[in-house]
Amino acid sequence: MIAAFFRFLFIVLILYLIFIVVRFFQSIGKAISPPPNRKSIQNTMVKDACCNTYIPKEEAIREIRNGTEYYFCSKTCRDAFLKNKKTASESDQ
């Protein structure tokens, strides 16, 4: 009984080794393909001026005020920031 079990394990091991060797020789003939064309990894992250969240520059909402460029993650953040800026500028006068 035990001898039959070891014989079975030996046969399985041999078949597995044959499988590995065949796969190795099949992969030699295949040309190495280039990786899939992905979007550029050079995304620049910008900080939302209202909630301090970092977002990709191309997805951000951009607002220019007094020569300064601000980025926002949503219209809600932009509106809240502009409201606070407007209030702050009125109190300075």
Nearest Cα neighbor of 45 from 58, 33, 34 is 58
Q: What is the pLDDT of residue 76?
A: 93
* Residue listed under structure tokens 């220019």: 64
pLDDT below 50 — which residues of the chain? none
Q: What is the pLDDT of residue 18?
A: 96
Q: What is the pLDDT of residue 49?
A: 86
Q: How far is CA 5 from CA 15, 16, 17, 51, 79, in A?
A: 15, 17, 18, 66, 74
Q: What is the pLDDT of residue 41?
A: 55
How far apart are alpha carbons 22 and 17 in whole angstroms? 9
| Pair of tokens at residue 18 | 């044959």
Start-to-end CA distance of the chain, whole Å, equals 97
Q: What is the pLDDT of residue 39?
A: 58
Q: What is the pLDDT of residue 60?
A: 92
| Pair of tokens at residue 37 | 């064309």
**Domain map (residue ranges) of the chain:** 45-92
